Amino acid sequence: MPAMDQPNPRSTKRCPICGKPELRRFRPFCSKRCADIDLHRWLSGSYAVPVVEEDASAGDGGEKDA
């Protein structure tokens, strides 16, 4: 194995986004940037724009003659 990319390839997990060795601080990612990317993927994949429709006429409160 002539490659010397990582000192401990076995004990070092790789970032699922870019494949670089993870940092403890951002694990399982290598950086906050990759963490954000994954978060975006996850959100866009799972939620796919949540639609919250609220009736504008509801809960408005009617006029009461006091």
Q: Which residues bind Zn ion (CB under 5 A)?
A: 15, 17-18, 20, 30, 34
Comparison of 19 and 45: residue with beta carbon closer to Zn ion: 19
As a whole number of Å, the end-to-end CA separation of the chain is: 88
Tokens in use for 14? 């790789």
- Please check whether residue 52 is in contact with residue 33, taking contact to mean a CB–CB distance below 8 angstroms: no
Least distance to Zn ion, CB of residue 34, Å = 3
Comparison of 36 and 62: residue with beta carbon closer to Zn ion: 36
Structure-token match 């906050």, residue found = 32
Least distance to Zn ion, CB of residue 13, Å = 11
